[in-house]
Amino acid sequence: MIQIEGVSHRYGDREVLSDINLSLIEDRIGVIGANGSGKSTLARLLNGLVVPSTGRVLVDGMDTARDGAGVRRKVAFVFSDPDAQIVMPTVAEDVAFSLRRHGLSKQEVADRVRDILARFGLGGHPDHPAHLLSSGQKQLLALASVLVTEPEILICDEPTTLLDLRNSRQVAGVLEGLAQRVVLVTHNLELLHGWQRVLVIEQGRVVADGSAEQSIGHYEALMAAGRPC
């Protein structure tokens, strides 16, 4: 469980999140809102990439400000741009890199890498240069490299923004089938169809918190009213 208690966040003296209080326990949680409303900052708070200026974020009781490393073993993060996340020259090396501090034998690493690449449709490309993959394949590789460490929760910050419709649907299909709990920040409202819980952020505050249907309706009404972000 992730608990956000009385959290505000400032960059310099500008407050971009104000007094957020949430318990995140559902398997699928969406986060939507206008550009600049604070969604990415909220997402980054969940695994300690950003620590709150006020208040605290607890992951199974661990404070993200005190035990960032422990939190990141449980809570993984996928960025919009997979190039920001791919660090090794080849597909298999990139996935194996994530396991370097897990105390596994070479054979165990090779087995885990092979299995996850097969699951993500990259089994035929282990020695392919990672930077030559298509955008969709790169995002699948970024997901594989994160999920091979078997985190409990996956935070995705607009993972389909740079993808065309086909690749976007492929990544959406992968997210849909994950055993992990997922928190997904997205402008692609289609991805959230049927989700249990969607938060709407506006000007650094949670202004709606309900089913996908309720929250998307609220967001569309906000946008139609032309409220500033």
Q: Where on the chain is the footprint of ligand ADP (CB under 6 A)?
A: 11, 16, 33, 35-41
Q: In this complex, which beta carbon is closest to ligand ADP, that of residue 13 or of residue 127?
A: 13
3-state secondary structure the chain: CEEEEEEEEEECCEEEEEEEEEEECCCEEEEEECCCCCHHHHHHHCCCCCCCCEEEEEECCEECCCCHHHHHHHEEEECCCHHHCCCCCEHHHHHHHCCCCCCCCHHHHHHHHHHHHHHCCCCCCCCCEHHHCCHHHHHHHHHHHHHCCCCCEEEEECCCCCCCHHHHHHHHHHHHCCCCEEEEECCCHHHHCCCCEEEEEECCEEEEEECHHHHHHHHHHHHHCCCCC
CB of 152 to ligand ADP, least distance (A): 24
Cα angle, residue 205 at apex, residues 204 and 206 outer, rounded to 5°:
135
CB of 145 to ligand ADP, least distance (A): 23
Q: In this complex, which beta carbon is closest to ligand ADP, that of residue 170 or of residue 188?
A: 188
Rg (CA), the chain: 18
Distance between terminal CA atoms of the chain?
29
For residues 175 and 141, give the distance between their C-alpha atoms in angstroms, rounded to a whole number: 13
Q: In this complex, which beta carbon is closest to ligand ADP, that of residue 41 or of residue 137?
A: 41
CB of 1 to ligand ADP, least distance (A): 23
CB of 157 to ligand ADP, least distance (A): 7
Q: In this complex, which beta carbon is closest to ligand ADP, that of residue 39 or of residue 197?
A: 39
CB of 117 to ligand ADP, least distance (A): 31
Q: In this complex, which beta carbon is closest to ligand ADP, that of residue 36 or of residue 68?
A: 36
CB of 226 to ligand ADP, least distance (A): 17
Q: In this complex, which beta carbon is closest to ligand ADP, that of residue 48 or of residue 112?
A: 48
CB of 5 to ligand ADP, least distance (A): 19
Q: In this complex, which beta carbon is closest to ligand ADP, that of residue 38 or of residue 151?
A: 38
